[in-house]
Amino acid sequence: MRGSPAFLLPFTSVAPTWPAFFYGVVALEVKNAYAQRPGDLQGYGKAFVVSEDQKLDWSDSFAIRAQPPEARHLSYWPTHPHTFSKTHIVIFVASIRKSFEDYSSEFMQVTRSVVTFVAKTLHIDTKLMEDKYVSRVLKMNYYHPCMSMAEKLIRDGRHGAWIPVKPHPKALLVNVGDFLEIMSNGTYKSIEHRVKINATQERLSISAFHIPVFDGINSPVTHIAKDKVLYKTMMI
């Protein structure tokens, strides 16, 4: 999505607080107080670590469930100023929790625009998607520099090759996930993606996952799939 400053505005609320969390200003013991707990993807740490032999993501990450508000686990939300190193407290002029809240609620507007747009292209009632897609996970990623190239890559489904995506300073990148692929009966394809890191500069990114409410059902919307239903109905 390109162009509108309104889409870029939310980033300003987290930009002053989040980079500092990763830059070594915050002591590891403090970050570990927000470490992921078994069975949860929220918190500080690496998700999907199932074996000591697997390759780990290069990034340092921190994830929280931010929407709907009643789904928040505030024990994962860093507080200010108590938990940060006293010598660097000046950096955290804004409360980190507040920055999260502001970012997340402003981002809901962006999400609504995206969902409305997608619903229109599928000729389905916007409500149908709004009601399903109500949960939001925010994930901050910090990639240390490394002797490599900086790029975002997506996999070309037809040829299996990785294609570099040049970031546009006035654009948000929207990746399609599996749930939308199923719901749209394959009209939207879930995109495999990965990131290459920079040789000399760290990379910071914020992913906003817009996901269906848990304990729900996801299935191809009937009128889209009238010729052939390509996906099974699944519980989330």
Ligand X SMILES: O=C(O)CCC(=O)C(=O)O
Q: Enumerate binding residues for ligand X (CB under 6 A).
A: 139, 141, 152, 193, 195, 205, 207
Q: Output the smallest distance, CB 206 to ligand X, in A.
A: 8
Q: Strand 151-155 relative to strand 193-196: parallel, antiparallel, unpaired?
A: antiparallel
Burial grade of 235 (CB within 10 A; 0-12, 13-18, 19 or more): exposed
Closest CA to 220 of 187, 177, 182: 182
Q: Output the smallest distance, CB 126 to ligand X, in A.
A: 26
CB closer to ligand X out of 59 and 185: 59
Q: Output the smallest distance, CB 177 to ligand X, in A.
A: 10
CB closer to ligand X out of 126 and 205: 205
Q: Output the smallest distance, CB 167 to ligand X, in A.
A: 8
Spatial neighbors of 69 by CB under 8 A, at least 6 apart, are: none
CB closer to ligand X out of 57 and 102: 57
CB closer to ligand X out of 112 and 152: 152
Distance CA 118, CA 174 (A): 11
CB closer to ligand X out of 47 and 213: 47
Nearest 10 degrees: Cα torsion 32, 38, 40, 42: 10
CB closer to ligand X out of 46 and 223: 46
Q: Output the smallest distance, CB 89 to ligand X, in A.
A: 28
Q: Output the smallest distance, CB 16 to ligand X, in A.
A: 19
